[in-house]
C-alpha cells in the first residue's frame, strides 16, 4: 500500500503565495481481531500491519511467544488483521479489559506492580558497545530515515547489533514503530538479549518497559528520556543512551556495557 498521499496546497511566505503539492504521510485505522473477537484499533502507517499487530499483542501479553500464533490474515485495504492465537477467549478478554479499564492510554494503577513484577527479571546481558559504534549507528539510522526527511511526520525505530542496523521501521506512532520490529523478531525467532533498539522519539516509561520486557539491553535515542524512563532503566538493567547527536551521547544508566 502507498504510505504517502499528495494534496494540493498554497504555500505562503512574507512575500507572496504559490500553488504547490504536498506529500503527506498516510494514517490508517488498523483493527486487530484475536480469535474472532475485535480487540483494539490502532492508528498507524499502513506498512507491515501483520508485524504491528503481532508486536502489539506480544507487548500487551496477549501472546507469550511464536507458538501462540496459529494463523495471521491481513486485509490491507480494509485495515484489519485477524490473528488465531492459542489462547482462551476469556483470558484475552480479561487481559484487555483489565488493561483498558486500569490504564486508558497511559499506565494505570497496575503501573507500579508491573514494574515490581519485572524487577525480578532484571536484564543481566554482558553485551558491550563502544561510543564510536553508537555514533556510527545513529548516523546510519538518520540516513535511512528518508521517509521522515520527505514528509517529517513519522517516527523511526531500528533493531541493531553494535556493528549494523538489522531492521528499520517507520510509523506515525513511536510505539507502533517499535512494535513492528518486535512483531517481526517474534516470527523470525530473533534473539534479543544482545541487541540495541534505536528510536527517533523520546524515551518514556512506556517505551522503556516495552523493550525491557523483551530483555533488550540497550535503548538509544537522539532525543531525551523522561525521569521515569531513566528510573526504570536503572531498575531493570537497561543501558539508556540519549541525545546521540553532534558527535556526542549521554549515557544515563548501566554504563558498564559501554566499552
Judged by CB under 8 A, the chain residues 210 through 249 that form the site for its own copies are 223-230, 242-243, 247-249
CA–chain centroid gap for 37, Å, is 24
Contact 158, 197 (CB under 8 A): yes
**Active site includes 185?**
no
Judged by CB under 8 A, the chain residues 89 through 118 that form the site for its own copies are 97, 100-109, 111
Q: What's phi and psi for 241, nearest 5 deg?
A: -125, 120
Contact status: 166 vs its own copies (CB under 8 A): no
Of 19 and 189, the one with the shorter C-beta distance to its own copies is 19
CA 259, CA 254: separation in Å to the nearest integer?
A: 12
Contact status: 142 vs its own copies (CB under 8 A): no
CA 128, CA 93: separation in Å to the nearest integer?
A: 40
Q: How far is the CB of 22 from its own copies (least distance, A)?
A: 6
Contact status: 77 vs its own copies (CB under 8 A): no
Q: Of the ranges 34-42, 47-55, 84-92, 137-145, which one interacts with its own copies (CB under 8 A)?
A: 34-42
CA 97, CA 40: separation in Å to the nearest integer?
A: 11
Q: Of the ranges 4-12, 83-91, 156-164, 190-198, which one interacts with its own copies (CB under 8 A)?
A: 4-12
Q: Of the ranges 83-91, 132-140, 163-171, 180-188, which one interacts with its own copies (CB under 8 A)?
A: 132-140
CA 137, CA 143: separation in Å to the nearest integer?
A: 10
Judged by CB under 8 A, the chain residues 168 through 207 that form the site for its own copies are 172, 202, 204-206
Count of Cβ atoms closer than 10 Å to residue 21 Cβ: 10
CA distances to 72, 172, 204, 250, 251 from 176, rounded to whole Å, are 18, 8, 14, 25, 25
CA distances to 46, 78, 122, 214 from 49, rounded to whole Å, are 6, 11, 31, 20
Q: How far is the CB of 189 from its own copies (least distance, A)?
A: 28
Residues noted as catalytic: 105
Residues that bind its own copies (CB under 8 A): 5, 7, 9-14, 17, 20, 22, 24-29, 31, 38-44, 97, 100-109, 111, 131-132, 134-135, 151-153, 172, 202, 204-206, 223-230, 242-243, 247-252, 255, 258
Amino acid at each position: 500500500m502507498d504510505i504517502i498521499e499528495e494534496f494540493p496546497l498554497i504555500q505562503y511566505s512574507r512575500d507572496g503565495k504559490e500553488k504547490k503539492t504536498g506529500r503527506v504521510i498516510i494514517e490508517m485505522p488498523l483493527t486487530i481481531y484475536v480469535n474472532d473477537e475485535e480487540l483494539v484499533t490502532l492508528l498507524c502507517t499502513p506498512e507491515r500491519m501483520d508485524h504491528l499487530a503481532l508486536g502489539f499483542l506480544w507487548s500487551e501479553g496477549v501472546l507469550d511467544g511464536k507458538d501462540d500464533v496459529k494463523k495471521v490474515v491481513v486485509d490491507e485495504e480494509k485495515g484489519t488483521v485477524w490473528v488465531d492465537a492459542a489462547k482462551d477467549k476469556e483470558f484475552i478478554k480479561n487481559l484487555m479489559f483489565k488493561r483498558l479499564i486500569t490504564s486508558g492510554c497511559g499506565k494505570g494503577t497496575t503501573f507500579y506492580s508491573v514494574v515490581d513484577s519485572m524487577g525480578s527479571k532484571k536484564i543481566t546481558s554482558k553485551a558491550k558497545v563502544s561510543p564510536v559504534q553508537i555514533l556510527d549507528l545513529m548516523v546510519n539510522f538518520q540516513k535511512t530515515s528518508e521517509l521522515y526527511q520527505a514528509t517529517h511526520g513519522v517516527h523511526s525505530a531500528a533493531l541493531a547489533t553494535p556493528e549494523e542496523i538489522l531492521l528499520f521501521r517507520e510509523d506515525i506512532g513511536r510505539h507502533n514503530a517499535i512494535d513492528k520490529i518486535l512483531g517481526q523478531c517474534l516470527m523470525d525467532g530473533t534473539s534479543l538479549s544482545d541487541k540495541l533498539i534505536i528510536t527517533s522519539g523520546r524515551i518514556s516509561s512506556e517505551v522503556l518497559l516495552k523493550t525491557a520486557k523483551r530483555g533488550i539491553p540497550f535503548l538509544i535515542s537522539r532525543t531525551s528520556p523522561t525521569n521515569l524512563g531513566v528510573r526504570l532503566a536503572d531498575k531493570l538493567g537497561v543501558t539508556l543512551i540519549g541525545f546521540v547527536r553532534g558527535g556526542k551521547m549521554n549515557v544515563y544508566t548501566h554504563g558498564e556495557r559501554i566499552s
